[in-house]
């Protein structure tokens, strides 16, 4: 079955603290993985994507994600968050002409 599971629907965190948003996927075909961010009242914007090669992928705004094939995971991390990182984050993949998104994780950064 093809699916993407984002394990946390909401993640509250204090400013300057580290954060990890978890994502697991299931697919029977080779996929390329991504994370998108949706700021309030804005469209979806690509944060980063993994095609092949190094399993640690760096994206915009200081975010990075690590691909783990054995655990079929693609968790997103940031060592120190800012208030401006408050947004909805979507994990997903494209494979076999299908694009599948997870349900999203709402990151709420508190002062």
Does 98 contact other proteins by CB under 8 A?
A: yes
Residue 42 phi, psi dihedral angles, 5° rounding: -130, 165
Q: Are 90 and 77 in contact (CB under 8 A)?
A: no
Give dist(CA 12, CA 23) in Å, integer. 17
Comparing CB distances to other proteins, the nearer of 81 and 92 is 92
29 near other proteins, rule: CB under 8 A: no
Query: In angstroms, what is the minimal distance from the CB of 62 to other proteins?
Result: 19
Q: Please give the C-alpha separations between residue 22 and each of 11, 35, 74, 96, 111, in angstroms, as whole numbers.
A: 10, 11, 7, 24, 23
Q: Does residue number 22 form part of the binding site for other proteins (CB under 8 A)?
A: no
> Is residue 54 near other proteins by the rule CB under 8 A?
no
45 binds other proteins per the rule CB under 8 A = yes
Judged by the rule CB under 8 A, the positions of this chain that interact with other proteins are 4, 6, 32, 36, 42-46, 49, 51, 90, 92, 94, 97-104
């Amino acid at each position: 079955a093809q699916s993407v599971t984002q394990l946390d629907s909401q993640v509250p965190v204090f400013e300057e603290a580290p954060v990890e948003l978890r994502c697991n996927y299931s697919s029977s075909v080779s996929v390329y993985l991504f994370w998108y961010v949706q700021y309030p009242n804005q469209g979806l914007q690509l944060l980063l994507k993994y095609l092949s090669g190094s399993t640690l992928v760096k994206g915009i705004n200081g975010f990075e994600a690590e691909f783990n094939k054995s655990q079929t995971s693609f968790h997103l991390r940031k060592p120190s968050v800012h208030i401006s990182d408050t947004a909805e984050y979507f994990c997903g993949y494209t494979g076999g002409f299908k694009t599948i998104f997870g349900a999203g994780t709402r990151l709420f950064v508190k002062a």
